Copies of this chain bind each other. A is one copy, B any other.
Amino acid sequence: MLIEAFCSVRGQTEKIASPFSPEDQQLQSMTDASPVKWHLAHGSWFFETFILAEFASRFEWFDEHFCYLFNSYYNALGQQFPRAQRGLMSRPGLERVMQYRKQVTAHVLDLLRDCDDGLFGKLAASLVLGLNHEQQHQELIMTDISHALLYRDGEQGPPVSGQSIRLNSSEGKSAADGWLDFAGGEAITGYQGQGFCFDNELAAHPELLQPFQIASHPVSNADWIEFMDAGGYDDPLLWLSDGWAWKTKNSIRCPLYWRRVDGNWRHNTLAGPEAETSDRAVSHVSYYEADAFASWKKARLPREGEWELAARSHAWETNHEPGRKPDNIRRPGQSIHELAFHDLALHDPGQCWEWTQSAYCAYPRFQVSPGMAAEYNGKFMVNQMVLKGASRATASFHSRASYRNFFYPDARWQFTSLRLARDAG
Protein backbone atom coordinates (compact mmCIF):
# COMPACT_ATOMS: atom_id res chain seq x y z
CA MET A 1 0.00 0.00 0.00
CA LEU A 2 2.91 2.31 0.67
CA ILE A 3 4.11 1.54 -2.84
CA GLU A 4 0.80 2.70 -4.29
CA ALA A 5 0.84 5.82 -2.13
CA PHE A 6 4.37 6.56 -3.25
CA CYS A 7 3.49 6.18 -6.93
CA SER A 8 0.35 8.21 -6.51
CA VAL A 9 2.01 11.10 -4.68
CA ARG A 10 4.96 11.27 -7.06
CA GLY A 11 2.62 11.18 -10.04
CA GLN A 12 0.37 13.80 -8.56
CA THR A 13 3.27 16.25 -8.16
CA GLU A 14 4.14 15.90 -11.79
CA LYS A 15 0.54 16.26 -12.83
CA ILE A 16 0.26 19.53 -10.93
CA ALA A 17 3.34 20.90 -12.64
CA SER A 18 2.47 19.67 -16.10
CA PRO A 19 0.41 22.63 -17.37
CA PHE A 20 3.40 24.93 -17.02
CA SER A 21 6.13 25.48 -19.57
CA PRO A 22 9.83 25.02 -18.72
CA GLU A 23 10.06 28.81 -18.68
CA ASP A 24 7.11 29.13 -16.28
CA GLN A 25 8.63 26.49 -14.07
CA GLN A 26 11.80 28.51 -13.64
CA LEU A 27 10.11 31.61 -12.23
CA GLN A 28 10.84 32.88 -8.74
CA SER A 29 8.94 36.07 -8.06
CA MET A 30 10.03 36.57 -4.47
CA THR A 31 12.48 35.04 -2.03
CA ASP A 32 9.74 33.24 -0.10
CA ALA A 33 8.69 31.34 -3.19
CA SER A 34 10.61 28.82 -5.28
CA PRO A 35 10.46 27.79 -8.93
CA VAL A 36 8.25 24.82 -9.77
CA LYS A 37 11.28 23.08 -11.22
CA TRP A 38 13.09 23.51 -7.95
CA HIS A 39 10.19 21.96 -6.03
CA LEU A 40 10.19 19.02 -8.43
CA ALA A 41 13.88 18.44 -7.86
CA HIS A 42 13.78 19.09 -4.13
CA GLY A 43 11.17 16.37 -3.56
CA SER A 44 13.46 13.90 -5.27
CA TRP A 45 16.46 15.12 -3.34
CA PHE A 46 14.51 14.38 -0.17
CA PHE A 47 13.90 10.75 -1.13
CA GLU A 48 17.40 10.34 -2.50
CA THR A 49 18.95 11.70 0.69
CA PHE A 50 16.69 10.26 3.35
CA ILE A 51 15.86 6.90 1.72
CA LEU A 52 18.26 5.89 -1.03
CA ALA A 53 21.48 7.21 0.45
CA GLU A 54 20.53 5.71 3.79
CA PHE A 55 19.08 2.35 2.83
CA ALA A 56 19.92 1.41 -0.76
CA SER A 57 22.82 -0.86 -1.49
CA ARG A 58 25.12 0.18 -4.33
CA PHE A 59 23.90 3.77 -3.98
CA GLU A 60 25.24 6.52 -6.20
CA TRP A 61 24.11 10.12 -6.36
CA PHE A 62 22.32 11.06 -9.56
CA ASP A 63 24.46 14.21 -9.52
CA GLU A 64 26.41 15.15 -6.41
CA HIS A 65 26.02 18.80 -7.17
CA PHE A 66 22.26 18.43 -6.68
CA CYS A 67 22.90 18.04 -2.93
CA TYR A 68 23.92 21.68 -2.97
CA LEU A 69 21.29 22.90 -5.40
CA PHE A 70 18.23 21.17 -3.98
CA ASN A 71 18.85 21.00 -0.25
CA SER A 72 16.39 23.55 1.06
CA TYR A 73 17.67 24.42 4.52
CA TYR A 74 19.22 21.37 6.18
CA ASN A 75 22.47 22.73 7.52
CA ALA A 76 23.40 19.35 8.92
CA LEU A 77 23.55 18.10 5.33
CA GLY A 78 25.81 20.82 4.02
CA GLN A 79 25.76 24.22 2.35
CA GLN A 80 22.84 25.28 0.20
CA PHE A 81 22.45 27.25 -2.98
CA PRO A 82 21.18 30.72 -1.99
CA ARG A 83 17.43 30.64 -1.69
CA ALA A 84 16.90 34.07 -3.20
CA GLN A 85 18.61 33.00 -6.41
CA ARG A 86 16.74 29.82 -7.20
CA GLY A 87 15.11 31.59 -10.12
CA LEU A 88 18.54 31.98 -11.71
CA MET A 89 19.02 28.23 -11.89
CA SER A 90 18.52 27.59 -15.59
CA ARG A 91 20.71 24.55 -15.24
CA PRO A 92 19.82 21.79 -14.78
CA GLY A 93 16.99 22.29 -17.24
CA LEU A 94 13.53 20.90 -16.62
CA GLU A 95 14.23 17.89 -18.79
CA ARG A 96 17.11 16.82 -16.63
CA VAL A 97 15.11 17.41 -13.47
CA MET A 98 12.42 15.11 -14.85
CA GLN A 99 15.06 12.45 -15.47
CA TYR A 100 16.16 12.94 -11.89
CA ARG A 101 12.62 12.41 -10.68
CA LYS A 102 12.22 9.34 -12.85
CA GLN A 103 15.39 7.72 -11.62
CA VAL A 104 14.75 8.44 -7.96
CA THR A 105 11.22 7.11 -8.25
CA ALA A 106 12.47 3.98 -9.95
CA HIS A 107 15.21 3.38 -7.41
CA VAL A 108 12.87 3.87 -4.49
CA LEU A 109 10.44 1.42 -6.04
CA ASP A 110 13.24 -1.08 -6.59
CA LEU A 111 14.22 -0.70 -2.98
CA LEU A 112 10.67 -1.11 -1.70
CA ARG A 113 10.02 -4.18 -3.84
CA ASP A 114 13.21 -5.88 -2.76
CA CYS A 115 13.37 -5.04 0.90
CA ASP A 116 12.54 -7.44 3.70
CA ASP A 117 10.46 -6.65 6.75
CA GLY A 118 13.44 -5.64 8.77
CA LEU A 119 14.60 -3.04 6.32
CA PHE A 120 11.06 -1.92 5.66
CA GLY A 121 10.59 -1.33 9.36
CA LYS A 122 13.59 0.93 9.32
CA LEU A 123 12.75 3.00 6.31
CA ALA A 124 8.97 3.23 6.54
CA ALA A 125 8.92 6.29 8.78
CA SER A 126 11.26 8.22 6.50
CA LEU A 127 9.26 7.21 3.48
CA VAL A 128 5.99 8.43 4.97
CA LEU A 129 7.69 11.65 6.00
CA GLY A 130 8.92 12.00 2.41
CA LEU A 131 5.41 11.55 1.08
CA ASN A 132 3.95 14.13 3.41
CA HIS A 133 6.83 16.40 2.57
CA GLU A 134 6.19 16.03 -1.12
CA GLN A 135 2.51 16.81 -0.57
CA GLN A 136 3.46 20.02 1.17
CA HIS A 137 5.46 20.99 -1.85
CA GLN A 138 2.51 20.19 -4.11
CA GLU A 139 0.66 23.01 -2.42
CA LEU A 140 3.68 25.29 -2.62
CA ILE A 141 3.97 24.60 -6.33
CA MET A 142 0.46 25.98 -6.76
CA THR A 143 0.92 29.02 -4.54
CA ASP A 144 4.38 29.88 -5.83
CA ILE A 145 3.53 29.63 -9.53
CA SER A 146 0.35 31.61 -8.82
CA HIS A 147 2.42 34.38 -7.36
CA ALA A 148 4.86 34.33 -10.25
CA LEU A 149 2.11 34.56 -12.83
CA LEU A 150 -0.37 36.76 -11.00
CA TYR A 151 1.53 39.11 -8.74
CA ARG A 152 1.72 41.89 -11.30
CA ASP A 153 -1.91 41.74 -12.05
CA GLY A 154 -2.97 44.11 -9.36
CA GLU A 155 -0.73 46.83 -10.70
CA GLN A 156 -1.45 49.45 -13.20
CA GLY A 157 -0.72 48.46 -16.74
CA PRO A 158 -1.56 45.38 -18.72
CA PRO A 159 -0.76 42.00 -17.24
CA VAL A 160 1.85 39.60 -18.51
CA SER A 161 0.61 38.11 -21.71
CA GLY A 162 -0.47 34.48 -22.05
CA GLN A 163 -3.56 32.37 -21.88
CA SER A 164 -5.16 31.43 -18.63
CA ILE A 165 -4.49 27.99 -17.30
CA ARG A 166 -7.60 25.92 -16.85
CA LEU A 167 -7.92 24.50 -13.41
CA ASN A 168 -10.78 22.46 -12.08
CA SER A 169 -13.10 24.73 -10.28
CA SER A 170 -16.60 24.38 -9.00
CA GLU A 171 -19.01 26.81 -7.51
CA GLY A 172 -18.72 27.79 -3.88
CA LYS A 173 -21.41 26.99 -1.42
CA SER A 174 -23.74 29.57 0.00
CA ALA A 175 -22.62 30.78 3.40
CA ALA A 176 -24.87 31.30 6.39
CA ASP A 177 -24.25 33.26 9.53
CA GLY A 178 -23.89 31.56 12.84
CA TRP A 179 -21.83 31.10 15.93
CA LEU A 180 -20.99 27.74 17.42
CA ASP A 181 -20.72 27.57 21.23
CA PHE A 182 -18.15 25.70 23.26
CA ALA A 183 -18.16 25.44 27.01
CA GLY A 184 -14.40 25.25 27.36
CA GLY A 185 -12.69 23.00 29.85
CA GLU A 186 -9.83 20.64 29.44
CA ALA A 187 -9.21 19.73 25.83
CA ILE A 188 -6.52 17.68 24.22
CA THR A 189 -4.44 19.60 21.74
CA GLY A 190 -2.02 17.87 19.37
CA TYR A 191 -1.94 14.59 17.58
CA GLN A 192 -3.00 11.41 19.36
CA GLY A 193 -3.61 8.78 16.67
CA GLN A 194 -1.53 5.91 15.32
CA GLY A 195 -0.92 7.44 11.91
CA PHE A 196 1.57 9.89 10.67
CA CYS A 197 2.02 13.34 12.09
CA PHE A 198 4.80 15.91 12.07
CA ASP A 199 6.95 16.34 15.13
CA ASN A 200 5.46 19.76 15.79
CA GLU A 201 2.00 18.25 16.49
CA LEU A 202 3.39 16.47 19.52
CA ALA A 203 3.16 16.01 22.38
CA ALA A 204 -0.62 15.90 22.58
CA HIS A 205 -1.42 17.62 25.82
CA PRO A 206 -4.36 18.83 27.86
CA GLU A 207 -5.11 22.50 27.62
CA LEU A 208 -7.62 24.58 29.58
CA LEU A 209 -10.01 26.49 27.37
CA GLN A 210 -12.40 29.19 28.47
CA PRO A 211 -15.92 29.21 27.05
CA PHE A 212 -15.85 30.50 23.50
CA GLN A 213 -17.78 30.85 20.30
CA ILE A 214 -16.48 30.19 16.87
CA ALA A 215 -18.08 31.05 13.55
CA SER A 216 -19.58 28.22 11.57
CA HIS A 217 -18.18 29.70 8.38
CA PRO A 218 -15.10 31.62 7.46
CA VAL A 219 -15.28 35.26 6.55
CA SER A 220 -16.53 35.62 2.99
CA ASN A 221 -15.57 37.84 0.09
CA ALA A 222 -18.79 39.76 0.64
CA ASP A 223 -17.84 40.35 4.27
CA TRP A 224 -14.45 41.59 3.18
CA ILE A 225 -15.89 44.05 0.69
CA GLU A 226 -18.03 45.40 3.51
CA PHE A 227 -14.88 45.84 5.59
CA MET A 228 -13.15 47.72 2.78
CA ASP A 229 -16.19 49.88 2.13
CA ALA A 230 -16.32 50.76 5.82
CA GLY A 231 -12.77 52.10 5.62
CA GLY A 232 -11.17 49.16 7.36
CA TYR A 233 -7.87 49.74 5.61
CA ASP A 234 -7.80 53.37 6.74
CA ASP A 235 -8.40 53.11 10.48
CA PRO A 236 -5.20 52.56 12.48
CA LEU A 237 -7.18 51.76 15.60
CA LEU A 238 -8.24 48.44 14.09
CA TRP A 239 -4.72 47.31 13.35
CA LEU A 240 -1.80 45.85 15.17
CA SER A 241 1.04 48.31 15.23
CA ASP A 242 3.28 46.14 13.06
CA GLY A 243 0.34 45.49 10.76
CA TRP A 244 -0.38 49.15 10.23
CA ALA A 245 3.28 49.81 9.44
CA TRP A 246 3.29 46.92 6.97
CA LYS A 247 0.06 48.04 5.34
CA THR A 248 1.29 51.59 4.98
CA LYS A 249 4.73 50.76 3.68
CA ASN A 250 3.35 48.38 1.06
CA SER A 251 0.27 50.43 0.16
CA ILE A 252 -1.98 47.46 0.85
CA ARG A 253 -5.59 48.24 -0.04
CA CYS A 254 -7.18 44.83 -0.65
CA PRO A 255 -6.32 41.12 -0.61
CA LEU A 256 -3.56 39.91 -2.89
CA TYR A 257 -4.63 39.36 -6.49
CA TRP A 258 -7.67 41.58 -6.05
CA ARG A 259 -8.09 44.41 -8.45
CA ARG A 260 -10.70 47.06 -8.93
CA VAL A 261 -12.16 46.93 -12.44
CA ASP A 262 -14.96 49.26 -13.43
CA GLY A 263 -16.11 49.66 -9.87
CA ASN A 264 -16.13 45.94 -9.13
CA TRP A 265 -13.66 43.82 -7.30
CA ARG A 266 -12.10 41.13 -9.42
CA HIS A 267 -10.13 38.30 -7.87
CA ASN A 268 -7.64 36.98 -10.28
CA THR A 269 -6.58 33.34 -10.26
CA LEU A 270 -4.59 31.04 -12.48
CA ALA A 271 -7.89 30.12 -14.09
CA GLY A 272 -8.60 33.73 -14.90
CA PRO A 273 -10.79 36.27 -13.13
CA GLU A 274 -13.16 34.55 -10.75
CA ALA A 275 -16.85 34.55 -11.36
CA GLU A 276 -19.09 35.99 -8.70
CA THR A 277 -17.97 34.37 -5.49
CA SER A 278 -19.28 36.59 -2.73
CA ASP A 279 -20.13 33.61 -0.53
CA ARG A 280 -16.73 32.06 -0.83
CA ALA A 281 -14.15 32.48 1.93
CA VAL A 282 -11.97 35.49 1.38
CA SER A 283 -8.52 34.38 0.37
CA HIS A 284 -4.98 35.76 0.26
CA VAL A 285 -5.16 37.94 3.34
CA SER A 286 -2.29 38.34 5.78
CA TYR A 287 -2.50 37.76 9.50
CA TYR A 288 -2.40 41.52 9.92
CA GLU A 289 -5.44 41.98 7.73
CA ALA A 290 -7.25 39.09 9.38
CA ASP A 291 -6.63 40.55 12.81
CA ALA A 292 -7.84 43.99 11.73
CA PHE A 293 -11.00 42.50 10.29
CA ALA A 294 -11.70 40.69 13.54
CA SER A 295 -11.18 43.92 15.50
CA TRP A 296 -13.60 45.66 13.22
CA LYS A 297 -16.15 42.95 13.99
CA LYS A 298 -15.42 43.31 17.71
CA ALA A 299 -14.35 39.70 17.65
CA ARG A 300 -11.00 37.96 17.53
CA LEU A 301 -9.25 35.12 15.78
CA PRO A 302 -9.56 31.72 17.40
CA ARG A 303 -6.70 30.25 19.37
CA GLU A 304 -5.17 27.13 17.93
CA GLY A 305 -6.63 24.91 20.66
CA GLU A 306 -10.10 26.36 20.17
CA TRP A 307 -9.95 25.76 16.45
CA GLU A 308 -8.76 22.22 16.97
CA LEU A 309 -11.44 21.42 19.48
CA ALA A 310 -14.14 22.79 17.21
CA ALA A 311 -12.84 20.95 14.20
CA ARG A 312 -12.99 17.65 16.06
CA SER A 313 -16.50 18.07 17.27
CA HIS A 314 -18.56 15.53 15.33
CA ALA A 315 -21.69 16.22 17.26
CA TRP A 316 -21.24 19.84 16.60
CA GLU A 317 -20.98 19.29 12.90
CA THR A 318 -24.22 17.44 12.38
CA ASN A 319 -26.20 18.44 15.37
CA HIS A 320 -24.87 21.45 17.02
CA GLU A 321 -25.81 22.01 20.64
CA PRO A 322 -24.56 25.26 22.09
CA GLY A 323 -22.37 24.95 25.10
CA ARG A 324 -22.04 21.20 24.89
CA LYS A 325 -18.60 19.80 25.27
CA PRO A 326 -18.03 17.63 22.22
CA ASP A 327 -18.02 13.99 23.17
CA ASN A 328 -15.35 13.18 20.71
CA ILE A 329 -12.86 15.49 22.18
CA ARG A 330 -10.50 12.61 22.68
CA ARG A 331 -10.84 11.14 19.22
CA PRO A 332 -8.53 13.34 17.24
CA GLY A 333 -6.49 12.37 14.25
CA GLN A 334 -9.34 12.04 11.84
CA SER A 335 -8.94 13.81 8.59
CA ILE A 336 -10.02 17.38 8.69
CA HIS A 337 -11.82 16.65 5.47
CA GLU A 338 -14.13 14.15 7.05
CA LEU A 339 -15.49 16.15 9.92
CA ALA A 340 -14.57 19.72 10.46
CA PHE A 341 -16.54 22.74 9.96
CA HIS A 342 -19.88 23.10 8.26
CA ASP A 343 -18.52 24.40 5.04
CA LEU A 344 -15.42 22.32 4.84
CA ALA A 345 -15.71 19.84 2.04
CA LEU A 346 -13.23 17.83 0.12
CA HIS A 347 -11.60 20.26 -2.24
CA ASP A 348 -14.08 22.97 -1.85
CA PRO A 349 -12.82 25.40 -4.48
CA GLY A 350 -12.95 28.16 -1.92
CA GLN A 351 -11.27 26.32 0.91
CA CYS A 352 -8.47 28.14 2.72
CA TRP A 353 -6.11 27.81 5.61
CA GLU A 354 -7.32 29.85 8.56
CA TRP A 355 -5.14 32.15 10.63
CA THR A 356 -5.24 31.62 14.39
CA GLN A 357 -4.07 34.10 16.99
CA SER A 358 -1.54 31.54 18.23
CA ALA A 359 2.12 32.13 17.57
CA TYR A 360 3.87 29.07 16.22
CA CYS A 361 5.85 27.69 19.15
CA ALA A 362 6.78 24.41 20.74
CA TYR A 363 4.12 22.33 22.44
CA PRO A 364 4.97 21.22 25.97
CA ARG A 365 7.43 18.34 25.78
CA PHE A 366 8.01 18.94 22.10
CA GLN A 367 11.07 17.10 20.81
CA VAL A 368 12.51 17.60 17.36
CA SER A 369 12.64 14.46 15.25
CA PRO A 370 15.84 12.56 15.72
CA GLY A 371 18.32 12.26 12.90
CA MET A 372 18.43 14.17 9.67
CA ALA A 373 14.88 15.49 9.86
CA ALA A 374 15.67 17.44 13.01
CA GLU A 375 15.60 20.70 11.10
CA TYR A 376 12.18 20.03 9.60
CA ASN A 377 9.97 22.09 11.89
CA GLY A 378 11.51 23.10 15.18
CA LYS A 379 13.91 25.73 13.94
CA PHE A 380 11.06 27.85 12.61
CA MET A 381 9.39 28.32 15.97
CA VAL A 382 9.63 32.08 16.21
CA ASN A 383 7.98 35.01 14.44
CA GLN A 384 5.34 32.94 12.67
CA MET A 385 1.63 32.32 13.26
CA VAL A 386 -0.29 29.05 13.16
CA LEU A 387 -2.84 28.34 10.46
CA LYS A 388 -5.29 25.47 10.70
CA GLY A 389 -7.39 23.50 8.25
CA ALA A 390 -6.42 23.00 4.67
CA SER A 391 -6.84 24.76 1.36
CA ARG A 392 -8.12 23.96 -2.08
CA ALA A 393 -4.50 23.23 -2.96
CA THR A 394 -3.78 20.86 -0.09
CA ALA A 395 -3.37 17.22 -1.05
CA SER A 396 -6.28 14.97 -0.13
CA PHE A 397 -5.97 13.32 3.25
CA HIS A 398 -2.87 15.38 3.94
CA SER A 399 -4.22 17.61 6.71
CA ARG A 400 -5.90 16.87 10.03
CA ALA A 401 -7.24 18.77 13.04
CA SER A 402 -3.87 18.80 14.76
CA TYR A 403 -2.00 19.98 11.68
CA ARG A 404 0.06 23.10 12.31
CA ASN A 405 0.73 25.15 9.24
CA PHE A 406 2.73 28.33 9.87
CA PHE A 407 3.64 31.50 8.04
CA TYR A 408 4.91 34.98 8.83
CA PRO A 409 2.12 37.43 9.63
CA ASP A 410 2.65 39.37 6.42
CA ALA A 411 2.40 36.35 4.11
CA ARG A 412 -0.43 36.54 1.61
CA TRP A 413 0.45 34.30 -1.29
CA GLN A 414 -0.90 31.16 0.39
CA PHE A 415 -4.62 30.43 0.35
CA THR A 416 -5.17 32.12 3.68
CA SER A 417 -8.46 33.13 5.25
CA LEU A 418 -9.93 33.54 8.72
CA ARG A 419 -12.83 32.53 10.93
CA LEU A 420 -14.02 34.69 13.78
CA ALA A 421 -14.14 33.68 17.42
CA ARG A 422 -15.17 35.40 20.61
CA ASP A 423 -15.27 34.87 24.34
CA ALA A 424 -18.43 33.40 25.80
CA GLY A 425 -19.88 32.36 29.09
Asked if A29 meets B63 with Cβ closer than 8 Å, knowing A68-B158, A240-B381, A382-B287, the reply is no
Partner of A161, one of B91, B288, B303: B91
- Complex CA gap A385/B384 in Å reads 12
Interface status of A314 (Cβ within 8 A of chain B): no
Interface status of A153 (Cβ within 8 A of chain B): no
Asked if A75 meets B236 with Cβ closer than 8 Å, knowing A94-B23, A148-B90, the reply is yes
A 1-29 contacts with B by CB, 8 A: 21-24, 26-27, 29
Copies of this chain in its oligomeric complex: 4
Interface status of A166 (Cβ within 8 A of chain B): no
Kindly list chain B residues whose C-beta atoms are within 8 Å of the C-beta of A237.
Answer: 75-76, 374-375
Kindly list chain B residues whose C-beta atoms are within 8 Å of the C-beta of A90.
Answer: 21, 23-24, 26-27, 148-149, 160, 162
A307 to chain B, nearest CB (A): 14
Kindly list chain B residues whose C-beta atoms are within 8 Å of the C-beta of A276.
Answer: none
- Across the interface, do B361 and A359 meet the contact criterion of CB distance under 8 Å? yes
A209 to chain B, nearest CB (A): 8
Interface status of A362 (Cβ within 8 A of chain B): yes
Interface status of A171 (Cβ within 8 A of chain B): no
- Across the interface, do A361 and B365 meet the contact criterion of CB distance under 8 Å? no
- Complex CA gap A384/B350 in Å reads 32
Interface status of A380 (Cβ within 8 A of chain B): yes
Interface status of A321 (Cβ within 8 A of chain B): no
- Complex CA gap A210/B358 in Å reads 19
Interface status of A79 (Cβ within 8 A of chain B): yes
Interface status of A241 (Cβ within 8 A of chain B): yes
Contact digits for A221-233, partner B, Cβ 8 Å, 1 yes 0 no? 0000000000000
Partner of A73, one of B27, B63, B73, B241: B241
A302 to chain B, nearest CB (A): 12
Interface status of A243 (Cβ within 8 A of chain B): yes
Besides A76-B237, A208-B208, 18 other A-B contacts (C-beta < 8 A): A21-B93, A22-B22, A23-B23, A23-B90, A24-B91, A65-B158, A65-B161, A68-B158, A75-B237, A87-B88, A88-B160, A90-B148, A90-B160, A210-B364, A237-B375, A240-B379, A242-B382, A382-B385
